């Protein structure tokens, strides 16, 4: 009886380890996707000063969609010296 209980306990622990590994993999994939989206946003946006109604200025990010009129995506190859 104890052997069976130990076997069941080991199976539960193994399954929990699998679930934890799957959750970690999903979390890492979500982080990778989030980083890619941020990189893409930063590539096609700029921070500019915006004049507010009270006379102050605030830096705000303005996004420019990377598209042509025919729906094709633009890819910029920026070379800096």
- CA neighbours closer than 13 Å in the CB half-sphere of residue 34: 6
Amino acid 31: pLDDT: 96
How confident is the model over 50-69, as a mean pLDDT?
85
Q: What is the tens place of the pLDDT at every residue in 14-45? A: 999 999 999 999 999 999 999 998 888 888 88
Length of the chain (residues): 81
For residues 63 and 46, is the Cβ–Cβ distance under 8 A?
A: no
pTM: 0.54
Amino acid 81: pLDDT: 43
């Amino acid at each position: 009886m104890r052997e069976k209980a130990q076997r069941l306990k080991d199976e539960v622990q193994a399954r929990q380890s699998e679930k934890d590994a799957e959750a970690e993999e999903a979390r890492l994939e979500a982080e990778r996707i989030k980083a890619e989206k941020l990189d893409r946003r930063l590539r096609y946006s700029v921070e500019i000063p915006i004049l507010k109604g009270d006379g102050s200025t605030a830096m705000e990010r303005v996004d420019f969609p990377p598209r042509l009129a025919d729906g094709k995506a633009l890819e910029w190859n920026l070379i800096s010296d």
